[in-house]
């Protein structure tokens, strides 16, 4: 299997560290090729850094601020390179003089996995990784892993499906890219399908059929599956299952069925990225 490219946002925050550590923990069949990226957007140096008085009482000018950010970037790259080596990850770390979201999307291309922290350094440090994770999730052409917490062994994955092409890609990611543990200790899948109230009897039958079909595919790959048919607003119902079952990772398609079908999976994935405390893999 050709190794997947993983483009990781690094910024010197704990979330940037967690992003690298999550890549090392993902149960991928082939070790990914890593590109660690630190975005240094000197074109939009924050006014707060320029006008905020220093300890001596003098106000730094723009050049001093840029010099500080460049020095900080070198430290981040050096540290991240050391972390990659310690984690057994192979690849490179670089600084790009662009907004970090654009850089991540550029390096990922159409199919690369983007891994980004849900938050980063504070506003004074000019990185604002929280808004970056939302932008990347919306605009990426490939899968995006938004890291919310320290990495952990992945034992239970919540997979939210609606039968759409995007959900199909998420299912193929689970069956094609992830290495399921031994038959004696397989990864568990919490398979969630949320049905709308509209024409409930017809939708219920279709939903049960979908769950059975997708459960069979997952079990064939070696996963242990529990089915969760739900009724109501999709994001809210998925988050209820997340809160009760406490999965190690959420997997969801980026876009789903049409608005007429009542799913709006694109906005559902965005809501879950913003509201869940669990790390989430959004697949396109």
Q: For position 264, what pLDDT does the model report?
A: 40
Question: How far is Cα 16 from Cα 120, in angstroms, rounded to an integer?
Answer: 7
pLDDT in the model for residue 135: 87
Read off the pTM.
0.87
* Residue 270: per-residue pLDDT: 87
Largest pairwise CA distance in the chain: 72
Confirm if 274 and 228 have CB atoms less than 8 A apart.
Answer: no
List average pLDDT for each run of 10 residues in the chain, which is 284 residues long. 90 92 95 94 56 53 80 93 96 92 94 89 44 87 95 95 93 95 86 82 86 97 96 94 98 66 60 93 94
pLDDT at 120: 62
Residue 198 structure tokens: 């509209």
Structure confidence at residue 122 (pLDDT): 43
Residue 125: the pLDDT is 38
- E strands in the chain: 5-9, 33-39, 90-96, 113-117, 144-147, 156-160, 188-195, 224-231, 249-253, 280-283
pLDDT at 267: 79
């Amino acid at each position: 299997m050709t190794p997947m490219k993983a483009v990781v946002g690094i910024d010197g925050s704990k979330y940037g560290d967690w992003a690298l550590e999550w890549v090392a923990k993902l149960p991928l069949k082939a070790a990914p090729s890593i590109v660690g990226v630190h975005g240094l957007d000197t074109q939009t140096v924050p006014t707060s850094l320029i006008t905020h008085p220093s300890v001596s009482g003098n106000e730094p000018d723009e050049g001093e601020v840029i010099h500080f950010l460049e020095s900080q970037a070198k430290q981040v790259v050096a540290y991240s390179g050391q972390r990659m080596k310690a984690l057994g990850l192979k690849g490179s770390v670089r600084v790009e003089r662009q907004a970090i979201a654009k850089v991540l999307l550029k390096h990922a291309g159409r199919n690369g996995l983007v891994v980004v922290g849900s938050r980063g350094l504070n506003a004074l440090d000019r990185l604002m990784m929280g808004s970056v994770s939302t932008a990347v999730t919306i605009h990426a052409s490939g899968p995006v892993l938004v890291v919310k917490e320290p990495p952990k062994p992945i034992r239970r994955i919540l997979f939210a499906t609606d039968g759409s092409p995007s959900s199909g890609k998420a299912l193929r990611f689970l069956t094609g890219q992830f290495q399921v543990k031994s038959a004696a200790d397989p990864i568990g899948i919490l398979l969630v399908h949320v049905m709308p109230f509209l024409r409930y009897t017809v939708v219920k039958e279709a939903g049960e059929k979908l769950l059975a079909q997708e459960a069979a595919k997952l079990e064939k790959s070696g996963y242990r599956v529990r089915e969760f048919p739900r009724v109501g607003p999709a994001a809210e119902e998925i988050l209820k299952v997340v809160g009760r079952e406490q999965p190690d990772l959420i997997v969801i398609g980026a876009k789903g069925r049409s608005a007429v079908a009542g799913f709006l999976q694109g906005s559902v994935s965005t809501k879950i990225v913003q509201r869940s405390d669990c790390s989430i893999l959004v697949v396109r």
